[in-house]
Chain A
């Protein structure tokens, strides 16, 4: 079946640093989504991408839909303590009812 590889698995950074993470797929997706999960909570959608090459921002977060449609990237600028959590990528085929999720990137920030 389809698989998503998300990297890195974990990150330990200083407050104020920029963060980059990515997700690669073994097959093409028509939709890429990025979610954040806080401890003890369900995932919350951050950014949705619908076109190859699309670059979308949400505050300090910027995500891109890769040109090959097999990858996506998420950047966080000037990290703050509330950015701590697990970030998941998810992809969907055209016409598919289901999302495929990456394994997550755990972000830890040292103040």
Chain B
């Protein structure tokens, strides 16, 4: 298994440009998450999905959109990039929750700079 993969690793955008951050997992996990991590800070949840076709807002959803058409893919869309969206973005997944499978598996991250 490759686990959780994210592309691209790095990206520089101009203000107002749009882009899609890709996330794919090959573990057949139901749950997927997008976080952003600002310098020196913890992770803040942007959006999450409990299964294909179902998405929900997290703590900081403004300026982002997501879709979940398949179990494997959970892309994050920025429509009008702003400097405040400069951050490192992490995708994560986990299996359907049982008593002992409460863990999330993280991708390597996408470092985005908006100038």
Contacts and interface: CB of A to CB of B under 8 A. Distances in A.
Contacts of B74: none
A102 B90 CA distance: 16
Contacts of B31: 97
| Size range of the chain B interface in the assembly | 20 to 34
B106 A44 contact: yes
Contacts of B35: 101
Interface in A67-97: 88, 92, 97
Contact of B102 (A31, A40, A44, A88): A31
Contacts of B109: 40-42
Nearest to A41: B108
Contacts of A111: none
Interface stretch (B41-49, B63-71, B79-87): B41-49
Interface in B58-115: 58-59, 90, 92, 99-100, 102-109
A88 B41 CA distance: 10
Contacts of A102: 42
Contact of B107 (A6, A31, A42, A88): A42
Contacts of B52: none
B50 interface: yes
Contacts of A97: 31, 48, 50, 56
A43 B106 contact: yes
Interface of A: 1, 4, 6, 31, 33, 40-45, 48, 50, 88, 92, 97-99, 101-104
19 contacts: A4-B42, A40-B108, A41-B108, A42-B4, A42-B90, A42-B92, A42-B109, A44-B106, A45-B103, A48-B100, A48-B102, A50-B102, A92-B102, A98-B33, A98-B48, A101-B43, A103-B40, A104-B40, A104-B41
Interface of B: 4, 31, 33, 35, 40-45, 48, 50, 56, 58-59, 90, 92, 99-100, 102-109
Instruction: Enumerate the 8 nearest inter-chain pairs by beta-carbon distance, A residue then B residue, closest first.
Output: A42-B106, A101-B42, A101-B43, A103-B42, A45-B103, A43-B106, A31-B102, A42-B90
